[in-house]
Amino acid sequence: MLSPAVETLIALALEEDLGRGDVTSEAIFDAQAKVSGQIVAKEPLTVAGLAIAAEVFKRVDEATRFAARVDDGQRMGKGEIVAVVEGRTRALLSAERTALNFLQRLSGVATLTRRFVDAVAGTGARIVDTRKTTPGWRALDKEAVRAGGGANHRVDLAAGVLIKDNHVAACGGVKAAVERARAHAPHSLRVEVEVTELLQIDEALAAGADIILLDNFDPAQVKRAVEQIGDRAIVEVSGGITLETVRAFAEAGPDLISVGALTHSARAVDLSLEM
Amino acid sequence: MLSPAVETLIALALEEDLGRGDVTSEAIFDAQAKVSGQIVAKEPLTVAGLAIAAEVFKRVDEATRFAARVDDGQRMGKGEIVAVVEGRTRALLSAERTALNFLQRLSGVATLTRRFVDAVAGTGARIVDTRKTTPGWRALDKEAVRAGGGANHRVDLAAGVLIKDNHVAACGGVKAAVERARAHAPHSLRVEVEVTELLQIDEALAAGADIILLDNFDPAQVKRAVEQIGDRAIVEVSGGITLETVRAFAEAGPDLISVGALTHSARAVDLSLEM
Amino acid sequence: MLSPAVETLIALALEEDLGRGDVTSEAIFDAQAKVSGQIVAKEPLTVAGLAIAAEVFKRVDEATRFAARVDDGQRMGKGEIVAVVEGRTRALLSAERTALNFLQRLSGVATLTRRFVDAVAGTGARIVDTRKTTPGWRALDKEAVRAGGGANHRVDLAAGVLIKDNHVAACGGVKAAVERARAHAPHSLRVEVEVTELLQIDEALAAGADIILLDNFDPAQVKRAVEQIGDRAIVEVSGGITLETVRAFAEAGPDLISVGALTHSARAVDLSLEM
Amino acid sequence: MLSPAVETLIALALEEDLGRGDVTSEAIFDAQAKVSGQIVAKEPLTVAGLAIAAEVFKRVDEATRFAARVDDGQRMGKGEIVAVVEGRTRALLSAERTALNFLQRLSGVATLTRRFVDAVAGTGARIVDTRKTTPGWRALDKEAVRAGGGANHRVDLAAGVLIKDNHVAACGGVKAAVERARAHAPHSLRVEVEVTELLQIDEALAAGADIILLDNFDPAQVKRAVEQIGDRAIVEVSGGITLETVRAFAEAGPDLISVGALTHSARAVDLSLEM
Amino acid sequence: MLSPAVETLIALALEEDLGRGDVTSEAIFDAQAKVSGQIVAKEPLTVAGLAIAAEVFKRVDEATRFAARVDDGQRMGKGEIVAVVEGRTRALLSAERTALNFLQRLSGVATLTRRFVDAVAGTGARIVDTRKTTPGWRALDKEAVRAGGGANHRVDLAAGVLIKDNHVAACGGVKAAVERARAHAPHSLRVEVEVTELLQIDEALAAGADIILLDNFDPAQVKRAVEQIGDRAIVEVSGGITLETVRAFAEAGPDLISVGALTHSARAVDLSLEM
Amino acid sequence: MLSPAVETLIALALEEDLGRGDVTSEAIFDAQAKVSGQIVAKEPLTVAGLAIAAEVFKRVDEATRFAARVDDGQRMGKGEIVAVVEGRTRALLSAERTALNFLQRLSGVATLTRRFVDAVAGTGARIVDTRKTTPGWRALDKEAVRAGGGANHRVDLAAGVLIKDNHVAACGGVKAAVERARAHAPHSLRVEVEVTELLQIDEALAAGADIILLDNFDPAQVKRAVEQIGDRAIVEVSGGITLETVRAFAEAGPDLISVGALTHSARAVDLSLEM
C-alpha cells in the first residue's frame, strides 16, 4: 500500500508536468506506437524509489510494463541497468521525467546515507535521519534512508518526545520539562532531552530522560558524555556532522548519530532512460 | 493566491509532521503561553519561500504573526534577520521545522541560482531552469529560480515543444519530427530541437525550428554553432554545466543556459528560528 | 491516463447524482438482475467523450462492460449504435444519466466543431478553440474540439502569451507590452498580439510579435491585413464568427480562425440508452 | 456556504486556467499596479452566478473588491452594469476569463429559463428542470434555473422516486414497480410514474402513484390525461417541449412542465469585463 | 461502487492509524511472510459492514484475500465465522484494527436495529432511523440499519421536507409553514409535519401535510392520533422510544417508528481476528 | 489548527447532510431572517467537541456567532447552557443536526471517560484509551478522552511498539519479537509486550520490554504481576474492564488501565438547540 500522502504526492507530480498533456509527444508519435527502454545508473549509486517510479509509469499508462532488475538498497555501478520499461512511446516519454525525478532524488538520499553508514562500519553506532526532510516527502525520504542502511528517528512530532533547548528555555529548566513530558505524553514514547553541555546531563537523567541527545559536542566531549551516562540512557549525537568527521564521532561510543544532511542536502544522482 | 497544488503540498507537509499533534510541546507548554522569535540566516544566502513559511505558521495557528523583514530574492549575510514571528509557544515550536524545511530548501535553490547568474554577468546569456524539479514542487522551485535571478524554461509538457534525441530517433529524423510538431502542436508554442552535433543544426533550421538546444557541446563548439545559426533561431545550451564552466559557455554567445542542478542538486541553506 | 482534474470531475458528477444512492433502482430491482443496452445516436452527430462514458459506467460498477462501436471523431447517422453496455440493471440505470450527460455535451462540441471545419474545407485555415470553455471541463472540451477536426489554442494562461487590448491599455502601448513579454516570459512561448485596426499591425510586428490576432475585422479587412503581414507572422482572426460567415473569413487567407462558440454555445446532441 | 462540490469545481476551474500562472500578465504588469472595471451585459439577459464570479475573483486575490450591482434573477438590458471590480491588474486580468465563463453560462441558463417561464405566464403550470445538467454543475445549474423563475425537479437520484419505461420494462409492469417503490423507498419521497399512453394512467394511479409524468404526449393528449387524473395525482409533462410549443402544453392544464434544454442546451450569453 | 464519501472515510481511517507505517509489524515480520485468519463473532450479533472490511484489507495490500462467509444482515451466534482472511502477515496485522473498528461498529448498529425490528414483529409498524448518525458515516449507518431489518428515513436535508417545532415557531404557524413548503420545495418530496399535541393534527392535515410525526406522545395518545388521522396521512412516532416501550407504541397503529438510538447510541459488538 | 483529517471529516459531515441544500428551511424562511438559540445539556454530562461544533456553524454561514459558555472538560448539570448561537435562521437550522451530532458523540466519550476516571480516583492508576476509535475520528475521540480526564495510548501504529499475542505467535516467541523490535523500530518508541499469563512476564522483561500489558488478568493476578515486575517496567492492564470492576483493578497497582469502551461503546449524551 502506498499511503494516501504518497499517492497525493505522485498525483501532484504528474499533474504539474503532464496534467495538460505532452504537446511534443502527442504531436510527434502515433497513439499506438511502442518502444522499450532501460533505466541506467550513470554513476555509482545506491538505488531507492523503485516502487514510486513504477507507479508513475503505471499511472500514465496502465499498459506500461516496468520490471525492476534490483531491489531498493542495491549498490549499482556506472552503466548498470536498474529497470526495464516497455510500452507506448507517448506514455514512456511523458512519464520519463517525473519517474526519474523521483528516482534520482531518492537514490541520492540512499547513496549519501550509504556513505555515512559505511563510514561508521564496525563502531556500533547507527546513522539516523532527522525531520529535516523535503516537505511532502517525509515517508519517502525516510524509506530512502533505510534503503541506504540508515535507521529512522521519529517519523513525526507525535512519535517521540524530544525536548530541545527552546523547550527547556520556555519551560524553565530541564527538570520541569522532563517531568511534564513524563506526566502528559503517551506512555508509549521515550523521553529524549537535548543537552549542549556536560553539566546538563545529570539533571536530565535525574529527571527521567530515556535518551540524551548531545548537540554540537566534539568527539572528545561525546566520549566523556558516553562514559558519564553509562547504561542509564541511550546516547545520540547531532550537529553538523559530515562524512569527514562522522567516524570520529562514532568511535566515541554513542548509540546513534543523526544527520540532517541525509535528507536536506543530498544531491540527485544521475540515472537516465535509454531507449 | 497560492495555487491548489501548493496548498496541497503545504497541507501534506503539515499533516506529515504535525497531523497527530506535537506531543512534546503539548505536554510541556500551557495552551496560552506566548513567545517571539527571529528567523536568522546562519550563512550567506539568497532568500526564497517567505510566503510559504508565513502560510505554514498561519495554518498552524491563525493568531501567529509573521513579519518578513526582506523580500524573496534578497541577499542576506550571516546573522541577518529574515523574519520575526510572534505567537503561542506551542504553535511556533510545532510549525518551526516545517516552515524552515520549506525556507531552507527554496533559499537553497535561489542561492545556487544566484551564483550561476552572477557568474555569467555581462555576457547576455540567461540562466534557466529545467523540468528536473522536486516532484510536487514545480511551481515553488521555479519561483525560487526567479528569486535567484534566473528565468524559467517551460513550466510543463504543455507549455513548449522540445524535441529531444529520443523523439527524433522514434520519429525517424529531425525533419519529420519538427514538421509534425508544427502541424499538430498549439500555435502559441515555439518549437525547440535538441541537437548533439553541428551537422544537425541546418536540418533543424530548415525544418522550421524556432529554438536550437545544443546538448553536451563544449564552449568552442557552442561558439561555432552560434555563428552558424545567426539570428535564425534562439540558442540554448545544456548538459552538465557547472559553476566552474558556466562563464566559458556564456562567453560563447548563447541566449540561454539551462542548468538542472539549480533544482535537483541545491543543498539546503542554514536558517534557524531563535527565540 | 485520465488526468486528476478529469477524475475529479467524474467523481463530482457521480457524487452529485448518485452519491446517496438511486432510490428508484434500489427499490425496484434485485441487486443481481442483469440487462444490456445500446447507446444510440438520435440525430446526426460527431461523437466525443466515449472514454469518459466508459469510465462512468465502470465506476458505478466495475462489472459493467462498455464496448464502444466507434472511435471519438466518428460521424454518426440517426439510429446508429455508438456503444453497447451490459451489466447489472441497477448499475446501468444509475449510471445512465451521468454517462449520457457527458457524452451528449462533448459530442455536441465535436459536432459543432465539425460543421465549422467542414465549412472552411480547402481554404487552408484551421479552426481553433478559445479559453471560453465550461469551467472544470477545459481538457475535455479541448479534446472534443480535436475530435471534431479542430485544433487547440493555448490550453491555459501559462501556455502562450496573448496580449489583448486590456493589456495594451494598462501597459501603455503595444511596443512596451511586447517587449516586456519577450523579456520576461518563458522562451518556449510565442508572443501573440491582438489588434483591432490595421494601423496597429506594423507596431506589433516591429516590436517582435510572432502572431497577430485580428479581432472583429471583416473579411475584407482580414484580406488586407494578411497581405500587409505577409510571412512576418502567423495570422489569426476572431470575433463573433458564425457558421454563416466563417467561409468568407477563411477565404481571406488567415492561418487560424478561433471560435468561442465551439465550447461556450454548443447544444447537447441527442443520444439515448436503449435497453 | 458554498458546498464542497462547488468549491471543488471553482478550484478545478482556476487550476485549469491559472494554476501555472498567467505568463502574459506577469510579464507585462508590475505586481502592485491597480485597475478597476465593470462587468457589462452585451445583450439582454437574466443574470445568475454572481456569487461564483465574486468567489473566483476573491480566490485569485483576496484584495480584489467585487461589488454586484444587481441580484441573481435580475433582467438586464444591453449595456447595463452587472458588477464593478477593483484590484490588482494582474489579478483582475488573470481571473477575468474564469469568472466570465461561469457568469456567461449560468446567466445563459437563467435567461433561457426566464423565456420559458414568461411563455407560460398565467397558466398555473410551473417550469421545472431535469437531471440533464452539466456534470459537476448540478447545484449551480439548478440555482440558475431558480434565478430564471423556474422550479427544481429532484436534485439527485436519492431525492425522488421516478419510475421510467426502462424501470417498468425490467420490473415487469407498472403495478409491480410502484408497489416495490412504495414498500422500499424512504417514506419522505413521492412516487412518480412515467407513462407514454393514456391507458397506463389508471394502472399507475391504482398502484399508488403520487405523480404522473406524461412523456411525449401532445397538448390534446395532455388535456385528456389531466381530466382523467383529476386531483388524484400531480401531473407533469415532458419530452421535446420548445419555446414555440410550451404555451400550448401549459394551457392543457398540467401542474409541471419539465424541460431538459434549460440546462443541456442553453447557450452562453454575452457579458464582458471592461476596464 | 463505494461512494466517494465512503472512499474518503476509509482513506481517513487507514491514514490515521497506518499512514506512517506500523512500526511493530515492520520491525518483527519479514515482508513476505504469510498468514491466514478468521473473523469470529464473540457474541450473538447481526453482521453489517462486510464490504467495508474487505475494502480495508484490500487497500492495505491488494494481495490479501477476504472471503465473507455470510452476507450483511445475517444473525450470527457466538463463535461463528464471519469471514476468512489470508495474506501477508504485516498487511493483515496492520489492517486488522481498522477493519474491525468498521465491522464492530456497523454490526453494532445492525444488531440494535434487529432487536427493535424483532420487538415490533407482526404489528405492521416499520422501524426507521434518523439523521442522528455519526458525522461522516451517514451512508454506512443507514446501510447498517437496513441490514438490521430497519428502513431509512430521509438520507439528507434535501431528500424530504420535515417541518419541526422550531420551523413552525420561526415561521408563524403550521399552516404558513406547510403552505410555503408545498409552494417552494421540489414536488418529488412529501411534506412531513411534527406535532406535539393532538390539537395540531387537524391544522397540519388541512394545510396539506402528507405525513404527521407525533413527537413525544405516549402510546395511548398515539392510538387516538392514528384514529383521528385515518388514511389522510402517513403516521410516524418518535421521541425517546426504547426496546422496552417500542412494542406498546407499535401496537398503537403508526406506520413508522423512528429511533435515534439505532445510530447514535449503538455499542460496538465484539468481533475478533483469530490467526 | 484543525488537522486536515478533521477538516475533511467536517466537510464530509456537512456534505452528507446539507450538500444539496436544506429544502425545508429554504422553502420556509426568508434568506435574511435571523434567530438566536442556546445549546443546552439535557442530562448531566462532561462536554467535549465545542471547537468542532463552532466550526460546523461557521462553515454553514460565516456570519453565525457561536459563543461557548464553558470549555471542553467541564461537567454540566441538566438544563445548563453550553453555548449560545446567533445568526440567520436558515443557517442555524441547517447546521443544527450536524453540530449536535458531533457534540453529543464527543461529549458522550468525555462523559464515559469521566466516570472511569472518577472511579479510580486516588489509586494512582491512569485511564487510557485504545485504538478502538470510530474510523475517521481518531484525533477527535482522543481529544474527548483527554477532556474527560483520561490519557491517550499511542495515537497510531507508528507511535508505539505494542507486541500482541498474534505478533508473538507469528514471530516464534516473545524473546525474538522484542529483540527484533528493539533492533528495527525507531529509538524514540518504548517497546510494550502483551502477556496473558504470569509466566510470560520474565521472558518479556529479560528481552528488554519497557512496558508490560497484562491482558485479561483478574485483579488478584494483576497484583501479583505488579509485585513481580517492580520498577523494571511500566504496567498496563486491559481486557473487558467495566465501571463496576475498574476500581478493583486500579487498587491492584498498575500504572495504566486501558478501556476500549471509552470510544467504541460510549452512547451519545443528550444536548439540544433551543431557539
Grid coordinates representing C26?
Answer: 434500489
Nearest CA in chain D to F13: D4
Region B243-266 average pLDDT: 97
Residue B247 and residue B147 share a domain: yes
F200 in Cβ contact with F222 (< 8 Å)? no
Q: Distance between CA A238 and CA A250 in Å, rounded? A: 11
| Surface-to-core class of residue F182, CB atoms within 10 Å of its CB (0-12 exposed, 13-18 middle, 19+ buried) | middle
What does the pLDDT read at residue F1? Answer: 63
Q: Any residues with CB less than 8 A from the CB of A87 and at least 6 apart, and which?
A: A34, A35, A36, A57, A61, A63, A64, A65
What does the pLDDT read at residue B1? Answer: 63
Chain F residues within an 8 Å CB radius of E9: 12, 135-136
Higher pLDDT, D52 or A1: D52
C110 in Cβ contact with C75 (< 8 Å)? no
| Number of Cβ within a 10 Å radius of residue B197 | 12
Q: Distance between CA B92 and CA B60 in Å, rounded? A: 8
Lowest mean pLDDT among A47-51, B122-126, B174-178: B174-178
Residue B232 and residue B212 share a domain: yes
Q: Note down the domain range covering D70.
A: 4-111+267-274
Q: Distance between CA C24 and CA C100 in Å, rounded? A: 19
Chain C residues within an 8 Å CB radius of E5: 15, 19
Question: Between chains, do F19 and D4 touch, taking CB under 8 Å as contact?
Answer: yes
Q: Chains near F, with 3+ CB pairs < 8 A? A: A, B, D, E
What does the pLDDT read at residue C166? Answer: 84
Give residue A267's identity as a one-letter amino acid code. Answer: R
Beta bridge partners of C239: none
- For residue F4, give the nearest of B15, B21, B61 by CB distance: B15
Question: Between chains, do E3 and C11 touch, taking CB under 8 Å as contact?
Answer: no
Question: Between chains, do A27 and B181 touch, taking CB under 8 Å as contact?
Answer: yes
Question: Between chains, do F136 and E160 touch, taking CB under 8 Å as contact?
Answer: no
Residue C125 and residue C85 share a domain: no
What does the pLDDT read at residue A209? Answer: 95
Q: Where are the beta strands (DSSP E) in chain B?
A: 34-41, 45-46, 65-68, 75-76, 81-88, 126-128, 161-163, 191-195, 211-215, 234-238, 256-258, 271-274
Question: Between chains, do A187 and F236 touch, taking CB under 8 Å as contact?
Answer: yes
Grid coordinates representing E95?
Answer: 489492517
Counting the structural domains of chain B, the total is 2
- For residue B155, give the nearest of D14, D18, D20 by CB distance: D20
* Closest CA relative to residue A27, chosen from C259, C2, C146: C146
What does the pLDDT read at residue A28? Answer: 92
Question: In the 8-state DSSP scheme, what is residue D260?
Answer: T
* Closest CA relative to residue A253, chosen from A130, A119, A126: A126
Q: Kindly give the parts of chain C with pLDDT less than 50.
A: none
Residue A102 and residue A140 share a domain: no
Residue D122 and residue D106 share a domain: no
Give residue B187's identity as a one-letter amino acid code. Answer: H
CA distance between the termini of chain E: 30
Chain C residues within an 8 Å CB radius of E141: none
Best residue of E9, E16, E18, E20 to probe chain A, by most A CBs closer than 10 Å: E20
Chain F residues within an 8 Å CB radius of E139: 16
Question: Between chains, do B181 and A24 touch, taking CB under 8 Å as contact?
Answer: yes
3-state SS assignment for residue C91? helix
What does the pLDDT read at residue D275? Answer: 87
Best residue of F1, F137, F141, F142 to probe chain B, by most B CBs closer than 10 Å: F1
What does the pLDDT read at residue D51? Answer: 97
Give residue E234's identity as a one-letter amino acid code. Answer: I
* Percentage of residues of chain A with pLDDT beyond 70: 100
- Count of D–E CB contacts within 8 Å? 73
**Does the pLDDT value for residue A1 go beyond 70?**
no
> F80 vs chain A: nearest CA distance in angstroms?
30
Residue whose C-alpha cell reads 441527442 in the numeric block: C270
Q: Distance between CA E199 and CA E206 in Å, rounded? A: 12
Q: Where are the beta strands (DSSP E) in chain A?
A: 34-41, 45-46, 65-68, 75-76, 81-88, 126-128, 161-163, 191-195, 211-215, 234-238, 256-258, 271-274
User: Could you read off the pLDDT tens digit of each residue along chain D, which spans 275 residues?
Assistant: 688 889 999 999 999 999 999 999 999 999 999 999 999 999 999 999 999 999 999 999 999 999 999 999 999 999 999 999 999 999 999 999 999 999 999 999 999 999 999 999 999 999 999 999 999 999 999 999 999 999 999 999 999 999 998 898 888 889 999 999 998 999 999 999 999 999 999 999 999 999 999 999 999 999 999 999 999 999 999 998 999 999 999 999 999 999 999 999 999 999 999 98
Nearest CA in chain B to F142: B20
Query: Which phi and psi angles does B156 have, rounded to 5°?
Result: -155, -175
What is the per-residue pLDDT across B55-96, written as a single tens digit (0 to 9) for each? 999 999 999 999 999 999 999 999 999 999 999 999 999 999
Chain B residues within an 8 Å CB radius of D14: 1, 4
Q: What are the 10-residue block averages of pLDDT along chain F, 275 residues in total?
A: 87 94 93 95 98 97 97 98 97 97 98 98 97 97 98 95 90 90 93 94 94 97 97 95 98 98 97 93
Residue B100 and residue B125 share a domain: no
Mean pLDDT taken over chain A: 95
CATH number, domain containing residue B251: 3.20.20.70
Alpha carbons within 13 A on the beta-carbon side of C120:
29
Residue C139 and residue C225 share a domain: yes
> B163 vs chain C: nearest CA distance in angstroms?
12
Cα B216 vs. chain centroid, distance in angstroms? 21
3-state SS assignment for residue F225? helix
What is the per-residue pLDDT across A142-183, written as a single tens digit (0 to 9) for each? 999 999 999 999 999 999 999 998 898 888 889 999 999 998
Active-site residue, D34 included: no
Region A37-50 average pLDDT: 98
Q: Distance between CA D101 and CA C133 in Å, rounded? A: 7
Q: Chains near E, with 3+ CB pairs < 8 A? A: A, C, D, F
B140 in Cβ contact with B170 (< 8 Å)? no
Nearest CA in chain C to B160: C188
Instruction: Quote the pTM value.
Output: 0.92
> D173 vs chain C: nearest CA distance in angstroms?
11
Q: Any residues with CB less than 8 A from the CB of A191 and at least 6 apart, and which?
A: A161, A163, A178, A181, A182, A185, A208, A209, A210, A211
What is the per-residue pLDDT across C6-22, written as a single tens digit (0 to 9) for each? 999 999 999 999 999 99
Cα distances (Å, whole numbers) of residue A34 to A44, A53, A91: 30, 19, 9
H/E stretch holding A229 reads: helix A219-229
Pairing of strands A126-128, A75-76: unpaired
Residue B104 and residue B237 share a domain: no
Question: Between chains, do E15 and A3 touch, taking CB under 8 Å as contact?
Answer: yes
Residue A217 and residue A84 share a domain: no
* Closest CA relative to residue F40, chosen from F81, F6, F12, F92: F81
- Cα torsion at A125, A126, A127, A131 (round to 10°)? -120
CATH number, domain containing residue C55: 3.90.1170.20
B48 in Cβ contact with B143 (< 8 Å)? yes
pLDDT bucket at B130, cuts 50 / 70 / 90 = very high
Chain A residues within an 8 Å CB radius of F187: 128, 151, 153, 190, 211, 234, 236, 255-256
Grid coordinates representing B267?
Answer: 543543498
Residue C57 and residue C144 share a domain: no
> B169 vs chain D: nearest CA distance in angstroms?
31
Mean pLDDT taken over chain C: 95
User: Could you read off the pLDDT tens digit of each residue along chain E, which spans 275 residues?
Assistant: 688 889 999 999 999 999 999 999 999 999 999 999 999 999 999 999 999 999 999 999 999 999 999 999 999 999 999 999 999 999 999 999 999 999 999 999 999 999 999 999 999 999 999 999 999 999 999 999 999 999 999 999 999 999 998 898 888 889 999 999 999 999 999 999 999 999 999 999 999 999 999 999 999 999 999 999 999 999 999 998 999 999 999 999 999 999 999 999 999 999 999 98
Question: Between chains, do D60 and B159 touch, taking CB under 8 Å as contact?
Answer: no
What does the pLDDT read at residue A240? Answer: 87
Give residue F144's identity as a one-letter amino acid code. Answer: A
Q: Distance between CA B153 and CA E266 in Å, rounded? A: 60
Chain E residues within an 8 Å CB radius of F133: 101
Residue F137 and residue F68 share a domain: no
What does the pLDDT read at residue E141? Answer: 98
Residue B57 and residue B150 share a domain: no
